[in-house]
Structure 1
Amino acid sequence: MFTSTSLAAGAALISLAAGSPVERQALKFTYYDLTTPLASPCDITTGQDGKIYADTFTSNKIVQIDRSTGSLTEYDIPYTLPVLGNDVLPSDLQGRVALSCVVQPGKDGLIYAAAGVRNEFVRFNPETNETKVFPTGNPLGNLQPFNDAWPGETGMFFSQTTGNVINLFDYATTNVQTFEVPTPLAGPLGMIVASDGALWFCEMLANKIGRLNATDGTFKEYPLPLSLATPSVMRAETEGRYLWFTAIATNAIGRFDIQTGETKTFTDPRLLATPIEDTVDSQGNIWYSTLTRNTLNYLTPSTGKVTTIAQPDGDLEILPGLLPSLPPAADIAMHYEPSDNSIWFSELVNNRIGKYSI
């Protein structure tokens, strides 16, 4: 649903459409509050039905936004396993906290999500609103919550970081095929099926980019320079050869050439911006979220320039560019929707999903 804040702000600013650049920029933002308190939306995607889908970090739900009406609906993910390591939480949180942060559309028209530290895989049917949970077979696969997924033609790929594996969930049979990453303790995380048909992924702890040929199960690994330490999320490709990923520890965006194996580093000029997820728009700009800055950000590859767009919430910045925004919204998802040229993003702290019309 549209939030009262966004509606009030929109009504107040409509009369100022010809006003200052700041006022015009604010009109491009729309926010959707989640119904469940402290749900913390994390990852975002678009389904084949054209609706926006998200999952939640601390409530274990699938969130659906109908873009034509603005309505937001939440669907519970069934609770089937105890939450490991969260026994200090109040009992009412035991059944809902899974620290989930992966949602992707399958080629079969269904929505897939990971259940965080529960090490389960989730399938949501948009036509019936049925949610089904599948065990991964590796209860220790994600002792830390973050992993990723990407749709293949016959199944959904998903990583398990502490299990050090890439899995392929078959759409038709629901069987899971497991591929062990060659480097021990590599921490496979972000991934994308690139234009060459292979699955490329970040090895966060090994500081490498990996390539999996799922047909024969073979891997190739490419070491990264220290300027791109902790490669994390990779969800953008340009020119049929360049893969783009975030490097959290070095405050950077990395570019990897799948034809030559060469890399290039683009550093965010702000200290501790902490890039998290990335996406690419129709013009080839690389958009990315930042954990500590309440801004939308994009890199223009041809110039290397980073452009930031402040959100219209009046957050406080002490020594802009040097210290984080106060309070930080903890932006995680960054998702481009080409049908209306918009960027969708999530805010864990503010418990809402945002849309920015480019």
Structure 2
Amino acid sequence: MQHCGSSDAKTNQYIKEFEIPTPCSQPLSIISDAEGKIWFTQTNTGKVAKFDPESKLFTEYYNDQWSLNSASMMWGIAYTEDNEIWFTDEKNESLWKFSISEEKYSKFQIPAKTKKSFPQKIGLYNDNFVINDFTGSQIVILNHEKLDEGKFTNATISIPEGFFTSQAVIDDKGNIWFVMWKYQKEVILVKTNSITQEVEQHTLPDSIQAPNGVSVGSLGNIWIADTAGSSFYKFSPDTKKVLEYTTSKPSISTYGNASGLIKTPITRPYWNAFDSEGNLWFNQQTGNRLAVFNPNSESLIEYDIPSKNPTWSDCGDLTDCGISQSFGFTFKDKQVWFTEWVENNIGVLDTSVKIPISLETEKGEIVIKQGEQQEILVTVTPQTSQSMNVVLFGNSNSELIKINTKLEPTHISEQAMQIPVTIFVDENAHQGIYKILLGTQIPDVSVSTYVTIKVI
């Protein structure tokens, strides 16, 4: 049950899940093709599989070259215009190609700089694959056309041994960005240009401990997901400044805490990517959510995933408790498709379903002196005819900034309502800019907005 699923596929008002026919396939990375079919890797079988959203049918393609008796993490996947699925394989230290028309697999060994390579995420830029070698001290760049011709010629960006590498991405100026990091020791954002050979390195805050997901926004900002906590970060190449955004706290139904030993539950943002409308999506590994952040409005929507596997949490005798270990996700029109690694499901999130309420604050930035407090008003505006009771919560990345909200519910029906929130800044809080989160949990989704606090 721990790795193979604990229940049947489930559905809520935003998400529908589909159970994979082969038991214990452990789906991981996922992508859509030009015809709208959904493709995903199975870490426990070595197969790629296809799902047709119209017929609701799965097709799983046997891999006759697969010889492993254990699972291999296939973190990265790409679809090319010549109708091929490419995916990474850490156990075999390889990049695989699956020809959709020929239904044939091909394998390419990734040369190791150190004892073992660990090809992880894969990006496709101008017909070149960019792959981070997670533990192999390199970023690997491979030409797709030459691989199709059977020629394995690669360029690498070497990093010092002992560092992990994050996902690598390329901005619109041709710069490659990635993070090299040592857990709880060093975290360095690297920018390199293969044409000019220029390299920049930026030391990131100590609060970032396991930066896995990296993506580039429309304004050139670099967004980083930290899997060791509950935050994601924005790095501005112009100002060289870093801003931290914390998520809402995980629901107790995800971590359980039957033992009472979990004092600070975290959501673990893992991978991130921008959709076609400029919204930043990321999965919360232990929050059991898919989240979307709007950089313009600085609003956050966190969708609850229905399935939960209790063997990955401190559930005890609790029912409807646990996490599905959702990692991979991809975009198709107004839908977000994703995998559930330990529930043997894929799922689809329909973003066209209206969120019942929206939140906003009266001021974009609030200045508070050390040791003082300030009350602000949060406006809750109904977006549908659905009425509900709303209780606000607050979350901060600093223990020295306290957020007090009303304990009594506010009934929301047809008119917008304002709810007071008090923000207290401890006299020992460092001066600077903070992003605090104000939100509410309603059925199947959490709705929040960020407020900028300037401590002086």
Identify if the C-alpha distance between structure 1 residues 162 and 105 changes in structure 2 by more than 3 Å, giving closer, same or farther: same
Aligned-partner SS, 1:332: coil
Q: Is the 1:291–1:330 Cα contact (8 Å) retained in structure 2? A: yes
Match of 1:285 in 2: 279
CA distance in 1, matches of 2:234, 2:246: 11
Gaps (5+ residues) in structure 2?
A: 1-6, 250-264, 352-456
Identify if the C-alpha distance between structure 1 residues 275 and 146 changes in structure 2 by more than 3 Å, giving closer, same or farther: farther
CA distance in 1, matches of 2:126, 2:81: 6
Match of 1:17 in 2: none
Large movers: runs of 4+ above 4 Å: 139-143, 313-316
Match of 2:124 in 1: 151
What is the number of residues matched between the two proteins? 318
Q: Matched residues, percent identical?
A: 16
C-alpha RMSD of the superposition: 3.0
Note the alpha carbon deviations across 1:201-237, whole angstroms, 9 max, x for none: 2324341222232345554322211222221112x43
1:52-131 map, 5 Å = 52-79=38-65, 94-95=68-69, 97-106=71-80, 108-131=82-105
Note the alpha carbon deviations across 1:252-278, whole angstroms, 9 max, x for none: 112122444332211123231111112
CA distance in 2, matches of 1:330, 1:47: 24
Aligned-partner SS, 1:172: helix
**2:182 maps to 1:209:** no
Q: Which amino acid aligns with 1:172?
A: E
Q: Is the 1:41–1:353 Cα contact (8 Å) retained in structure 2? A: yes
Q: Which among 165, 169, 173 is matched to residue 138 of structure 2?
A: 165
**2:375 maps to 1:354:** no
1:317-328 map, 5 Å = 326-328=321-323
Identify if the C-alpha distance between structure 1 residues 33 and 335 changes in structure 2 by more than 3 Å, giving closer, same or farther: same
Identify if the C-alpha distance between structure 1 residues 315 and 59 changes in structure 2 by more than 3 Å, giving closer, same or farther: closer
Q: Which amino acid aligns with 2:216?
A: E
CA distance in 1, matches of 2:158, 2:77: 22
Match of 2:397 in 1: none
CA distance in 2, matches of 1:344, 1:200: 26
- In terms of fraction of residues, the more helix-rich structure is 1
Q: Which amino acid aligns with 1:226?
A: D
Q: Which among 35, 40, 46 is matched to residue 32 of structure 2?
A: 46
Per-residue deviation, 1:121: 0.7
**2:295 maps to 1:301:** yes
CA distance in 1, matches of 2:36, 2:115: 32
Per-residue deviation, 1:188: 1.6
Using structure 2 for the length normalisation, give the TM-score: 0.62
- In terms of fraction of residues, the more strand-rich structure is 2
Q: Which among 163, 169, 173 is matched to residue 192 of structure 1?
A: 169
Match of 2:338 in 1: 345
Match of 1:230 in 2: 210
CA distance in 1, matches of 2:36, 2:232: 29
Q: Is the 2:176–2:191 Cα contact (8 Å) retained in structure 1? A: yes
Per-residue deviation, 1:170: 1.7
Structure with the greater alpha carbon radius of gyration? 2
CA distance in 2, matches of 1:303, 1:80: 47
Note the alpha carbon deviations across 1:15-67, whole angstroms, 9 max, x for none: xxxxxxxxxxx243222222222111111122334322211232222122223
Identify if the C-alpha distance between structure 1 residues 167 and 218 changes in structure 2 by more than 3 Å, giving closer, same or farther: farther
Q: Is the 2:288–2:324 Cα contact (8 Å) retained in structure 1? A: yes
